[in-house]
Amino acid sequence: MNAQNPVFIPGPTNIPDRLRRAMDVQTSDHRAPDFVELFAPVLKGVKKIFKTSDGEVVIFPASGTGGWEAAITNTLSPGDKVLIARYGMFSHRWIDLCQRHNLEVEIIECEWGTGAPADIFAQRLREDKNADIKAVLVTHNETATGVRSDIAAVRKAMDASNHRALFFVDCVSSLASMDFRMDEWGVDLAVAGSQKGFMLTTGMAIVGFSQRAIAATKSADSCRTFFDFHDMFNANANGGFPYTPPLQLIHGLSASLDMLFEEGLEQVFARHFRIAQGVRHAVAAWNMKLCAKTPDLYSDSVSAIYVPQGFNSDELTNHAYDAYGVSFGVGLGEMAGKAFRIGHLGSLSDVMALSGIATIEMAMRDLNYPIELGQGVSAAQEYYRKTTGTALSKKAA
């Protein structure tokens, strides 16, 4: 029966029945002329989610990690230097991927719970008189710590430094859940996936790229075959794929875009913020702390929460699953054993969020955490009750 329970991990997320039905289609010929009637509107719709009119989009049958690899191999060459800050497990994994591709990686070490250090990026770019740094890499939403970085601030720092480095952003756990402005923020490559805000199964790496990124592909000599942008460009221009596409997922993405546009992107973002705020009210009522250091860093798609001293967060998430059949995110990297995560993105409502808060509260009480049943639930209820039916903005909160 636990398959009927929602998950509260930061991806893969809950799949609406409407999208499950959309993906329940028989095999069809992706070489047939009518495939373009399905696929072309999907690419156009995803561009609207990225908020780009100047850029383009490619979709690979992969996860977000495949999108990272595509971004690197299509625009950079072995030995090229990139600048990246490490402030969580996913920025760390992007660093690892770059190093395996024989890039020279300059790492800015940051405390976990902080975000991308725009001021330090600016300093390093100003010092780079020979323009050795070819790209700046930033994780928009660090899923391990529940931290959202200010992408506009990083772009401003890059512009102030008068540096021509490309700007790559991992928006896997933010796109379609929180505002992302590819053109306005001057992002050259943005990497997302199907399994988060798009509410689908894992299996599509969704990459947005600027005209500058396209130009960079002409000189990049990293090895690539499956992830070659030009193969994808040429095939997409004729309405197809260079190899077998994830047909069922493309049907699902078409329906997902319909759902997002029917709700309205601003309403989608407001819903995520409101649900996240309810979770944060619950955390405060438990007298616990978020990993994110300050409110301006709070993610609207996942909250990472420190457990009290003397408790193990892995035991808590294991007990919640064993006793109540509900999954929560474990602590990753430096957070292992110290924090658990509540994913609150994708197909989620305040009523569903309350069920997750109540479940983890029961699990904490079972393990003798210093909380009382109802503390977090009632705090979230009060917040949701007062804000129901409103398109709440951050200023209103």
pLDDT number for residue 396 = 39
For residue 135, give the nearest of 101, 168, 169 by alpha carbon. 168
Same domain, 229 and 288: no
Among 261, 276, 294, the domain boundary falls at 261
Letter for the amino acid at 98?
C
Residue 391 has pLDDT above 70, yes or no: no
What is the share, in percent, of the chain residues with pLDDT greater than 70? 97
- Please report how the helices 265-285 and 247-263 are oriented relative to each other, as an axis angle in degrees rounded to 10: 80
Do 121 and 268 belong together in one domain? Answer: no
How confident is residue 5, by pLDDT bands cut at 50, 70 and 90? Answer: confident
Judge whether 107 and 150 are in contact, CB under 8 Å.
Answer: no
pLDDT at 321 over 60: yes
Average pLDDT over residues 98-109: 98
Residue the block writes with tokens 């794929």: 241
Residues 296 and 232 in one domain: no
Enumerate the β-bridge partners of residue 305: 290, 340
- 81: Cβ–Cβ under 8 A, 6 or more apart, which residues? 103, 104, 105, 106, 132, 133, 134
Give the DSSP per-residue string, 254-312: HHHHHHHHHH-HHHHHHHHHHHHHHHHHHHHHTT--BSSSSGGGB-SSEEEEEPPTT--
pTM: 0.95
Closest CA to 202 of 170, 235, 241, 173: 173
Identify whether 357 is part of a domain: yes
Asked if residue 254 is part of any domain, the answer here is yes
DSSP-derived pairing of the beta strands 81-86 and 104-109: parallel
d(C-alpha 360, C-alpha 5), whole Å: 13
Long-range contacts at 174-177 (CB < 8 A, ≥ 24 apart): 174/140, 174/141, 174/148, 174/299, 174/301, 175/49, 175/50, 175/206, 176/49, 176/256, 176/260, 176/268, 177/268, 177/269, 177/272, 177/300, 177/301, 177/345, 177/346
**Residue 242, preceding bond cis, omega within 30 degrees?**
no
Residues 178 and 234 in one domain: yes
**Domain span at residue 337?**
2-11+264-387
Give the pLDDT score at 390: 60
Give pLDDT, residue 232.
Answer: 93
Is residue 255, in this structure, part of any structural domain at all? yes
CB 101 within 8 A of CB 78: yes
pLDDT at 29: 87
What pLDDT is recorded for position 281?
98
Residues 244 and 287 in one domain: no
Tens of pLDDT, residues 48-83? 999 999 999 999 999 999 999 999 999 999 999 999
Distance of CA 131 to the CA centre of its chain: 30
- The answer to whether residues 7 and 114 belong to one domain is no
CATH assignment of the domain containing 40: 3.40.640.10
Cα distance between residue 39 and residue 265, in whole Å = 21
* 388 pLDDT more than 90: no
Q: Which of 237, 261, 285 is the last residue of a domain?
A: 261
Query: Residue 320: which pLDDT band, with cuts at 50, 70 and 90?
Result: very high
- Residue 1's pLDDT is 46
For residue range 241-291, list pLDDT tens digits in order.
999 999 999 999 999 999 999 999 999 999 999 999 999 999 999 999 999
Rounded distance between C-alpha atoms, residue 56 and residue 54, angstroms: 7
**Same-domain pairing of 159 and 32:** yes
Of the pLDDT bands very low, low, confident and very high (cuts 50, 70, 90), residue 87 is very high
Averaged over 192-220, what is the pLDDT?
Answer: 97
E strands, 49-163, are 56-60, 81-86, 104-109, 133-139, 141-142, 147-148
The pLDDT, as a whole number, for residue 38 is 92
pLDDT score of 395:
39
Query: Looking at 195-204, 231-240, 280-289, 350-359, which range is the least confident one?
Result: 231-240
Instruction: Kindly state the tokens that stand for 382.
Output: 């009060």
Number of domains in the chain: 2
DSSP-derived 3-state class of residue 10: coil
Q: Are residues 53 and 199 in the same domain?
A: yes
Average pLDDT over all residues of the chain: 95
- Domain CATH for 303: 3.90.1150.10
Work out the average pLDDT over 327-355. 97
Nearest CA to 158 out of 98, 213, 117 is that of 117
For residues 39 and 75, membership in a common domain is answered with yes
Inform me whether the pLDDT recorded for 120 exceeds 80.
yes
Domain boundary residue, one of 230, 261, 292: 261
Q: pLDDT tens digit string along 136-161?
A: 999 999 999 999 999 999 999 999 99
Look at residue 33 in the predicted model and tell me its pLDDT: 85
Clarify whether residues 245 and 291 are in a common domain.
no
> Do 68 and 154 belong together in one domain?
yes
In this prediction, residue 393 has a pLDDT band, given cuts at 50, 70 and 90, of: very low
pLDDT value for 392: 46
Q: How confident is the model at residue 2 (pLDDT cuts 50, 70, 90)?
A: low
Asked whether the predicted pLDDT for residue 31 surpasses 90, the reply is no
Same domain, 128 and 232: yes
